[in-house]
Amino acid sequence: MARSADVARNQRYWDGVGADAHGPVARGHWEATEPSWGLWGTPEARAGVIPADIAGQRVIELGCGTGYVSAWLARAGARVVGVDVSARQLETARALRDEFGLGFALVQGDAGRVPCRDGVFDFAISEYGASLWCDPHRWIPEAARLLAPGGRLVFLRPSPLFAMCLPERGEVGPELLRPLFGLRRPWGHLPDEVWGRRRGATEFNLPHGELIGLLRENGFEVEELLELAAPEGDPGTRWFSDDSTVGPAWARQWPTEEIWKVRRAG
């Protein structure tokens, strides 16, 4: 499939301000001994993202960024390949991989056209990677191609509800600010002056019905959809981007993110 204009735009973004922002915070994630997920740090013990039998499995991370999810999987004994389109994000990932003494592969490439053979992976994962930044109509068929029959795909993305309520600046509230049926490019409607640091980048967030249809067309069966909420207590307000935040009051009523666990037909 031809490389899309979105890929070039997002590569530029992630080789620029995206890497400037994410590089300096990568070490904290690498140092984490317990994986946790999403804005509220949902513990792995509750999310169950990493299968208990992951040791020895062939794993691909699609949009691995600074590589901390790949690192968690490699530490659990998986044979990991991390793929990312951004050379600068991969530079950070390589430096930390070498510093932490882990031996997994890091490959520069587009998650919609991965330079690996068919059916060579048992598990594919994306955490705010291809799951948000690559067209699902490109990367989900590619994940299906890369997985062996019976292989599992797990991905984390913002919930469509969160994407509909997220303001350009300020705290998320209960108003719907954009339609569900435009979420393929939730930021695409914004004029240049409000793009800020996200200028020129494209995010994707398919509505549930379209996503389920796409997964099924590509031979995936949905095993679980986990909706992430703020924990009890006072976890404080979280930054989603440089310009927008979400507080626990919102995130106890509605999900900020969701984790999809799907399996390729055997």
Ligand X SMILES: C[S@@+](CC[C@H](N)C(=O)[O-])C[C@H]1O[C@@H](n2cnc3c(N)ncnc32)[C@H](O)[C@@H]1O
Of 50-58, 122-130, 225-233, 254-262, the window that binds ligand X (rule: CB under 6 A) is 122-130
51 touches 152 (CB < 8 A): yes
DSSP classification of residue 196: G
Q: Looking at 23, 35, 38, 63, which residue binds ligand X (CB under 6 A)?
A: 63
Radius of gyration of the chain (CA): 17
Query: Which two structure tokens, joined as six digits, stand for 63?
Result: 């949009």
Of 126-134, 172-180, 214-222, 223-231, the window that binds ligand X (rule: CB under 6 A) is 126-134
* Minimum distance, C-beta of residue 159 to ligand X, in the bound complex (Å): 16
Nearer to ligand X, 157 or 263 (CB): 157
Q: Looking at 89, 218, 245, 256, which residue binds ligand X (CB under 6 A)?
A: 89
166 touches 247 (CB < 8 A): no
Q: How far apart are CA 197 and CA 120, in angstroms?
A: 37
Q: What residues have CB less than 8 Å from 7, skipping those under 6 apart?
A: 85, 110, 112, 134
68 binds ligand X (CB under 6 A): yes
Quick note: the x/- pattern for ligand X over 161-200, rule CB under 6 A, is: ----------------------------------------
203 binds ligand X (CB under 6 A): no
**Phi, then psi, of 14 in degrees rounded to 5:** -75, -20
Provide the binding-site residues for ligand X, judged by CB under 6 A.
7, 10, 14, 22, 63-69, 83-86, 89, 110-112, 127-130, 133-134
